[in-house]
């Protein structure tokens, strides 16, 4: 999708609403992370960017497991869950079996080890008080369901008197005012919100084109080859958990929740996309991808309706 094609298409609000329903690693220099100040609060202003590099949406979803075994920080299981790409996962299978026992301790353990959903999106950092050097640059932002709810809430407000917006639109989107505070031992984003509709940075078309061209291809986070085989994950899981199957202490992160999958459901990402809307989204993205051979063509084809 090229920059010019993006502008003529106008807002992607309707199309993004219809979709509602890595380079992975601890030292990925492309990832932006907010910081908490000494006061126990943090803030930043970012702009979620529109899809590029042939990505269907401005974000991608990935499931992962991240838990300590029996409270031992040295026995840490951090792995991407292959259900993301439609494959079975040994941890998910083990959790299903635990849940079937109906034993409360087994259910607590399954809840503790269940997969967690992460999102990855391209962003432009408008203001980062904790790290000003991050400002004016494009980054990849990894975030969870709470912030994703803020995005979908902007696209599909709960109240009729609130105007829906496509927050990723470069001309008619809105900055995300991130406000972080502590809730127990966890970061809380409830005070975060989107601002008013405006052109990103009041930049010119050429400046927006440059920002758009700096985006990263998010598809790498969900490519099949990025996920380990069932056998390797099973060996890792068994090595860590052998003899350590006691239920963890119940806290804010351990709730008696049935695993959000079953042995026949190996496409979890679709659970967040209403089935009746998938075809419309697929038609949209197919149409968009056919407007040109590459990102530049796509952007050029979408520029016309809004003018210069």
Average of per-residue pLDDT values in the chain: 80
Specify the CATH number for the domain of residue 75.
3.90.198.10
C-alpha torsion angle, residues 79, 81, 85, 86 (rounded to 10): 150
Q: What is the DSSP string of 166-221?
A: -TT-TTT---EEEEEEEETTEEE-TT-EE-----GGG--HHHHHHHHHT---GGGG
pLDDT of 250 higher than 50: no
Does 256 fall in a domain?
Answer: yes
Does 19 fall in a domain?
Answer: no
Does 24 fall in a domain?
Answer: no
pLDDT of 14 higher than 80: no
pLDDT digits (tens, 9 = 90+) for 293-305: 344 443 444 333 3
pLDDT of 121 higher than 90: yes
Q: Could you tell me the residue range of the domain that residue 117 belongs to?
A: 34-202+215-270
Instruction: Measure Cα distances from 23 to 79, 98, 159, 250 in Å.
Output: 13, 32, 38, 33
Does 28 fall in a domain?
Answer: no
Q: Which residues pair with 59 in a beta bridge?
A: 121
pLDDT of 37 higher than 50: yes
pLDDT digits (tens, 9 = 90+) for 279-293: 433 443 343 333 333
Does 135 fall in a domain?
Answer: yes
pLDDT digits (tens, 9 = 90+) for 162-201: 999 999 999 999 999 999 999 888 899 999 999 999 999 9
Count other Cβ atoms within 10 Å, centred on residue 110.
25
Q: What is the pLDDT of residue 270?
A: 36
Q: Provide mean pLDDT across the span 236-255.
A: 64
Confidence category of residue 245, pLDDT binned at 50, 70, 90:
low
173, burial (CB in 10 Å: exposed 0-12, middle 13-18, buried 19+) = buried
Q: Provide mean pLDDT across the span 37-56.
A: 92
Does 251 fall in a domain?
Answer: yes
**Number of domains composing the chain:** 1
Q: What is the pLDDT of residue 167?
A: 96
pLDDT of 150 higher than 60: yes
127, burial (CB in 10 Å: exposed 0-12, middle 13-18, buried 19+) = middle
Does 301 fall in a domain?
Answer: no
pLDDT digits (tens, 9 = 90+) for 204-218: 999 999 999 999 999
pLDDT of 227 higher than 70: yes
Q: What is the pLDDT of residue 248?
A: 52
Q: Provide mean pLDDT across the span 46-74.
A: 91
Tokens of residue 9, six digits = 């298409």
Q: Model pTM greater than 0.85?
A: no
Confidence category of residue 143, pLDDT binned at 50, 70, 90:
very high
Q: Provide mean pLDDT across the span 127-155.
A: 96
Q: What is the pLDDT of residue 208?
A: 97
Q: Which residues of 32-70 are buried (b: 16+ CB within 10 A; e: fewer)?
A: bebeeeeeeebbbbbbbbbbbeebbbbbbbbbebebbbe
**Percentage, residues of the chain above pLDDT 90:** 61
Q: What is the pLDDT of residue 5?
A: 74
Does 188 fall in a domain?
Answer: yes
């Amino acid at each position: 999708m090229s920059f010019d094609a993006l502008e003529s298409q106008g807002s992607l609000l309707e199309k993004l609403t219809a979709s509602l329903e890595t380079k992975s690693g601890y030292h990925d220099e492309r990832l932006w992370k907010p910081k908490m100040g000494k006061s126990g609060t943090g803030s930043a202003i970012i702009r979620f960017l529109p899809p590029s590099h042939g990505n269907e949406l401005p974000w991608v979803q990935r499931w992962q497991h991240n838990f300590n075994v029996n409270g031992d920080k040295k026995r840490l299981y951090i792995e991407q869950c292959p259900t993301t790409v439609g494959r079975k996962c040994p941890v998910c299978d083990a959790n299903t079996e635990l849940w079937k026992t109906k034993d409360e301790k087994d259910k607590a353990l399954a809840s503790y080890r269940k997969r967690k959903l992460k999102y990855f999106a391209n962003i432009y950092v408008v203001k980062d008080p904790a790290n000003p050097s991050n400002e004016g640059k494009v980054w990849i932002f990894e975030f969870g369901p709470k912030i994703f709810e803020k995005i979908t809430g902007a696209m599909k407000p709960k109240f009729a008197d609130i105007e829906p917006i496509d927050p990723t639109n470069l001309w008619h989107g809105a900055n995300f005012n991130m406000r972080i505070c502590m809730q127990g031992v966890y970061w809380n984003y409830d005070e975060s919100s989107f601002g008013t509709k405006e052109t990103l940075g009041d930049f010119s078309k050429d400046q927006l084109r440059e920002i758009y061209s700096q985006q990263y291809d998010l598809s790498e986070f969900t490519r099949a080859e990025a996920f380990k085989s069932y056998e390797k994950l099973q060996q890792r899981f068994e090595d860590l958990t052998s003899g350590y199957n006691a239920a963890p202490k119940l806290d804010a992160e351990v709730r008696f929740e049935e695993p959000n999958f079953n042995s026949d459901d190996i496409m979890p990402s679709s659970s967040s996309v209403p089935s009746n809307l998938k075809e419309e989204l697929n038609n949209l993205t197919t149409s968009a991808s056919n407007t040109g051979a590459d990102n530049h063509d796509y952007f050029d084809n979408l520029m016309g309706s809004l003018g210069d």
